[in-house]
Amino acid sequence: MSVYNANVTTRILDPVFDRKNFRSEFRLNRDSVYLSNMRLIQMGMVDTSNSPPTATAFNPVIGAFCIKSIQLFDGNQLLDQMLEASLYRAFKTFNTSHDENLSIDSWVGKTNLTFAATGNQSIAANTAKVDDITIKGLFQSNNLTSGDAEFAVDKEKTSWLSLKGFLGFLTSSLYVPTDVFKNVRLVIQWKSPTELKDLLVDQTLTYATLEGCALVVDELNPSDARDAVMRNYEGVVYRAVEHDMVTVPAITGLGANESRAQENSFLINGFNGKQVERLLAIQSPTDQATWVAAGELLGAGNQASTAQRLSTFQFRVNGSNKLPRDGYTRKNQRLAGLTDSYGECTLVPTSNFVYVPSVEPILSDGSAGTVNDSQNIQGLMGQFDYTCCELRESVTELVVQYSRTGVAGNAGLTQSLRLNLFAEVNKAVSVDKSSKGYVVQYL
């Protein structure tokens, strides 16, 4: 049964503080009850180099998302947060079915991780000709300016975002009663102009976030049902997604035509004393020359997870390996583990591999042969090598063992990496119904 009836009023809240490229803050009224399906509207970026703005495409896995972090507070008490939000947003685009990316997210989020195969397979000399098939981006570019084109998605510069996908507290709690949480504050940290360049294709322009982003909430009207919610609310158990990061050193000193294995062991302290469920590892590049060419972003840039040659993962929790034998040693092995844990993903063929020569000819480089052409998906090769491990236990000591092989002359395979780790940890809010006080704790 729908909750949308005479007992619910939808409100659009303006921020109490709003400054582009810095921060916006929203606040809820006291002594009421809000549904947890909060969403942001009118979020986006604009080109400040030209007036009027010129057309430029968004990063295909980010769209018009320009958030650095999200925090949900009650006064100064942190209820939940999402750090490195754009990396997690890119993963969520990847961890979405192709149909949903095509039918929903490309419209409301302005992402563009959709593609289609065209052409007919042919046989010559008893050999299949793969170059008769072309896989290309299904939509034309999501631009910062308005315009219509065949098969083009809406090119408005703003997007819509459900906060439930980023804050486990909102996912698990149907209601947010503000007689318990008396000073609810939603704080959005925006990307800086330098950071925004990672989210748009044209690297020669200067960008800024838009002021005027609004929060849409559903509030229960005064009624017996609202009073019952306020009277009976006992708290919530939820999974917060927390972040930690380590730096993988660059591989240096290689001679001509030399390759060398690098083995690393990282002690991760950010999740100690917490019950960790799923752990996601993202390999983020640090050398801009590996994701920018001719003033344009290559594929997803530094927002996805770059593939490395012969990379392996093993996770040791409290002295024991979580994966059998040598751990994850092959890319499709990791992809299988990822889909087992997180479900369906949208993967451009072979884009979890460093390079597959036999596949490159069937991946479109765009009708104009330029990176900015939306039909170009060659730039996505080697950018979706995510890794997941299900820990399912309380962590006293977590060690990530990571190895890769660098190749001389290939900056993408020798550069320093940021190994970003996102862990689902169990938390709870326990409410004392008589005093309306509460405690936030890890389980």
Q: How far apart are CA 112 and CA 89, in angstroms?
A: 13
Instruction: Tell which residue, 231, 220, 235, has the closest CA to residue 37.
Output: 220
Share of the chain above pLDDT 90, in %: 70
Kindly tell me if the per-residue pLDDT of 428 is higher than 70: yes
Work out the pLDDT band at 53, boundaries 50, 70, 90.
low
Kindly tell me if the per-residue pLDDT of 373 is higher than 60: no
Least confident of 36-50, 258-272, 373-387: 373-387
The pLDDT assigned to 433 comes to 85
Position with higher pLDDT, 183 vs 125:
183
Kindly tell me if the per-residue pLDDT of 370 is higher than 60: no
Kindly tell me if the per-residue pLDDT of 32 is higher than 90: yes
The pLDDT assigned to 134 comes to 79
Is the pTM value of this prediction over 0.75?
yes
β pairing state of 274-285 and 387-395: antiparallel
Neighbours of 365 (CB within 10 A): 18
Could you please report the per-residue DSSP string of 384-413?
A: B--EEEEEEEEES-EEEEEEEEEETT-HHH
The pLDDT assigned to 145 comes to 46
Mean pLDDT value of segment 147-159: 49
Q: Which residue has the tokens 């862990």?
A: 423
Q: Which residues pair with 339 in a beta bridge?
A: none
| Residue 284: partners with Cβ closer than 8 Å, 6 or more residues away | 87, 302, 305, 306, 417, 418, 419, 420
